[in-house]
Structure 1
Amino acid sequence: MRFPEFSGEWEEHTLSEYLEFKNGLNPDAKRIGSGLPFISVMDILSEGVINYDNIRGKVNATEKEIECFGVKDGDLLFQRSSETLEDVGRANVYMDNRTAIYGGFVIRGRKIGNYDPLFFKYLLATPLARKRTCRMGAGAQHFNIGQEGLSKISLYFPSIEEQRKIAEFLSLIDERIATQNKIIEDLKKLKSAISKQAFAQKPNGWNRLDTLFSKGKAGGTPTSTNKEYYNGEIPFLSINDITKQGKYVRYTENHLSRSGLENSSAWVVPEYSLIISMYASVGLVTINEVPITTSQAMFAMQLRDKDLLDYLYYYLSYFKYRHIHKYLETGTQSNINADIVRGIMIPTYGHSRNMKIASTLQGIDAKIDNELSVLKLFNRQKNYLLSQMFI
């Protein structure tokens, strides 16, 4: 796909024809925290371009270090090392006239050729560029890419005029994505504020959580070395499933077999039960829309009154961020236990008020879900254009 005013083949060039590479500064810890902006991997991976004001870190640097490790407008910054091959060599562009410094886990590509900086950033994110970059990554525990590897990567470049046109077009989509992210962020802040206001009010009374469910207990994990216990038809919930899906879990990545269920303390949790994590991501809450099993790290509850399901979900979500730290048991990792879960005190404001609180927060959640769907659409459009506009 091309803009109609452009024609002709894109030309293949190595990155070394446009960039001169250099590793970054490795200062001692005492110099970090004040001084000039100090670009790290986190800045490379952040949304949007890098500029002077959005760099997270700072470092005290000498004049000689500023000369050697400074970045200028249009320089590219690459991630040197990653725990996953997919992230090695990720790149971003510095677009600011003010001087910043880049760190030792970063490789600078100093601009020596004629290119549009924003176009170059988009080009380096295309499937072809990522494939060729990952091919240069090597390592055991970490995947690394060096100056030599980056220099050898070859990509296709159009004329500078077409570069600018593509960059301008894609930046408009990025601006819309940024706006959409802000909408979602503001809705989440609104939800948090309303939740805090609602549950900070003096309740009519309190109930222990275990008086509100007819059955509640932790799950179990079959012996991991027995393959016959896994990859069956019974959904087996993980923290990752909750993180990905949020309030309602509809599917799981992992499954147990019937023999796995029978040879462990796992149990089938009926649909529309309340599940809370006791170990990793302590206090994370979800509602299962399908019958499900869990590990011993989660506590599942069948409620006596299903009308309380949403209210309890929102209160326990509030409890996670406002109160759960008071109950954490510190060992190799912080956690809570089943007795702590059973004893959580739940405020009641009367049935109609409880339902109104839940309904209000549900309405905001529905709006957030809708805006997230719009965001996914914009990201799909951008990814499609990245794959189609670059030869």
Structure 2
Amino acid sequence: MTKNNEHKNLNVPALRFPEFSGEWKKCKVSDLLDFYSTNSLSWEQLEYDTNAMMNLHYGLIHVGLPTMVDLAKDKLPNIKEDNMPTNFELCKEGDVAFADASEDTNEVAKTIEFYNLAEKNVVCGLHTIHGRDNKHKTVVGFKGYTFSSTVFHNQIRRIAQGTKIYSISTKNFSECYIGLPSKPEQTKIATLLRLIDERVATQNKIIEKLESLIKGIADKLFQTARETKLLLELAPNITSGTDKNGSGTIPLYGSTGIIGKVKNASQKGNIVLVARVGTIGTVQYVKESCGVSDNALIVEAGEMTKYIYHFLKTYKFAHITSGTTQPLITASSLKKIAVPTYDIERQTQIVLCLNILERKLDIEKQYLSDIAMMKQYLLHQMFI
């Protein structure tokens, strides 16, 4: 990769492969793409794992599908019997689909490209915009990434309409431009970003398998204990957080992580936090001095704290939740949990084992975050 620091005023990206030179062509999106009508089928009219025509719902563009959709491995729902649209345009490889609405301006016009249809019939559905490059100015794989680039979404953000829900239409694409390099350069860019996406998918599988392994090992370790003690006996001081978000430099923890800052720490650290509302039962270990909001219960157990943390990570909190409209966990119900116990030496071995596995998991998650950041950097630097 080379940076084009000396050509800031030319139609070239800030970062490109060294074997390519020359300016890119600026192209109005409405001149590049032809648009086709889409259906309005809801989730209730779709189902998975049949042989019927597949339908792209806008919700899957927001969550569930990669930028490059490969139907040899990615899944789309099928249209239920008696719901088949009468007029439709089948998708072709290289077609793109935009989500036309979102509560977040960053998600409006989020895009997927059909990289491989695997000989399956697919139509675009509710709240999608279906586009096709009939002039063949682009290679398959390039459009999905250029429409995911920072420079394109900055244009969308300026023209998206709405107050609570932001939306776009095909008319808006007459106001948007993308840069088009030669097809060999398009291919090189698309190949790099697709390989990064594949690495992200692989890393997610590594994390998923590792989480499953840790859970299986932890379950086994705690299930073999012959004795139990109530959590109240091991951690008599179980309270709810009381801190509010404000100014300061000390982290304020909520039910799932840091939610703000406080001026003074109410906790010295070495505590376990259990989400009592919202994402009930989320368990955190906090080593540092901090503040804690009233969304979390605080468990202090001295030298037993890390052992209790690992056990509570395996506990099924549905057994002790109360309430219907807003389920919650109370300090009194938490105190009654039976904790498997061993002698100090065995407990130390368990903590050491699970600490190592958890550290490995943290490393894999950080690597995933690093890959995602690299992709965002490239989407910012490699397009105009």
TM range, smaller chain: 0.7 to 0.9
Is it true that 1:212 corresponds to 2:234 in the alignment?
Answer: yes
Counterpart contact for 1:274–1:313, Cα < 8 Å:
yes
Distance 1:70 1:341 in 2: 55
**Structure 1 residues without counterparts, runs of 5 or longer:** 223-228, 243-251, 259-266
Trace 1:1-391 onto structure 2 (pairs within 5 A): 1-27=15-41, 31-33=45-47, 35-45=52-62, 46-53=65-72, 54-60=74-80, 65=85, 68-95=88-115, 96=117, 97-114=119-136, 115-201=138-224, 203-220=225-242, 230-240=246-256, 242=257, 252-257=258-263, 268-303=266-301, 305-306=302-303, 308-319=304-315, 323-391=316-384
Shift of 1:82: 0.8
Match of 1:261 in 2: none
**DSSP 3-state at the match of 1:68:** coil
| 1:52 to 1:104, Cα distance in 2 relative to 1, 3 A | same
Cα displacement (A) at 1:255: 2.8
Whole-angstrom CA distance in 2 between matches of 1:288 and 1:63? 52
C-alpha distance in 2 between matches for 1:107 and 1:363: 48
Contact 2:276-2:297 at 8 Å conserved across structures: yes
Which whole-Å CA distance do the structure 2 matches of 1:169 and 1:232 have between them? 43
8 A contact 2:243–2:252 mirrored in 1: no
**Matched-pair contact (CA < 8 Å) for 1:38–1:55:** no
Distance 1:340 1:231 in 2: 33
Unaligned runs of 5+ in 2: 1-14
- Length-normalised TM-score, structure 2: 0.86
Contact 2:273 2:286 in 1 (8 A): yes
User: Match of 2:307, SS?
Assistant: helix
SS of equivalent residue, structure 1 residue 275: strand
Change (3 A) 1:176 1:31: closer
Task: Kindly indicate which of the two structures has a greater share of residues assigned to helix.
Answer: 1
Q: C-alpha separation between the residues in 2 aligned to 1:237 and 1:175?
A: 34
Cα deviation, residue 233, structure 1: 4.8
Write the distance in 2 (CA, Å) between the matches of 1:108 and 1:66. Answer: 17
Q: Which residue of structure 2 lines up, in the alignment, with residue 262 of structure 1?
A: none
Task: Letter of the 1:164 partner, please give it.
Answer: T
Q: What amino acid is aligned across from residue 96 of structure 2 in structure 1?
A: L
User: Residues 211 and 361 of structure 2 are in contact (CA less than 8 Å); yes or no, is this contact kept in structure 1?
Assistant: yes
TM (norm. structure 1) is 0.84
For the 8 Å contact 1:43–1:50, the answer to whether it is kept is no
* Contact 1:43 1:55 (C-alpha < 8 Å) held by counterparts: no
Deviations 1:190-229 (A, max 9, x none): 112212222333x22111111112522112255xxxxxx8
TM-superposed CA distance for 1:48, in Å, is 4.5
The answer on whether the counterparts of 1:52 and 1:99 sit within 8 Å (CA) in structure 2 is no
CA distance in 2, matches of 1:343, 1:310: 19
The residue that corresponds to 1:249 in the other structure is none
Distance (Å, rounded) in 2 between the aligned partners of 1:327 and 1:278? 11
In structure 2, distance between residues paired with 1:256 and 1:182: 37
Partner amino acid, structure 2, of 1:137: A
Please give the secondary structure, in 2, of the residue aligned with 1:50: strand
Secondary structure at 1:12 match in 2: strand
Percent identity reads 25
How far apart, in 2, do the equivalents of 1:315 and 1:69 lie?
54
Question: Any conservation in 1 of the 2:37–2:88 contact (CA below 8 Å)?
Answer: no
- Quote the Cα distance in structure 2 between the aligned partners of 1:384 and 1:200: 46
Aligned pairs, how many? 361
Alpha-carbon spacing, 1:27–1:375, altered in 2? closer, same or farther (3 Å): closer
Q: How has the CA–CA distance of structure 1 residues 256 and 132 changed in structure 2, closer, same or farther, with 3 Å as cutoff?
A: same
Note the alpha carbon deviations across 1:336-360, whole angstroms, 9 max, x for none. 1111011111111332332222222
Counterpart secondary structure, 2:88: helix
User: Amino acid of the residue matched to residue 378 of structure 1?
Assistant: I
Q: Structure 1 pair 105/278, CA: closer, same or farther in 2 (3 Å)?
A: same
1:61 offset after TM fit, Å?
6.8
Q: Distance in 2 between matches of 1:166 and 1:55?
A: 25
Distance 1:63 1:337 in 2: 47
Tell me the amino acid that sits aligned with residue 69 of structure 2: I
**What CA deviation, in whole Å up to 9, does each residue of 1:162-209 have, x standing for no partner?**
1112212322333333322222222112112212222333x2211111
Q: What letter is aligned with 2:255?
A: I
RMSD (CA atoms): 2.4
One-letter identity of the residue aligned with 2:279: S
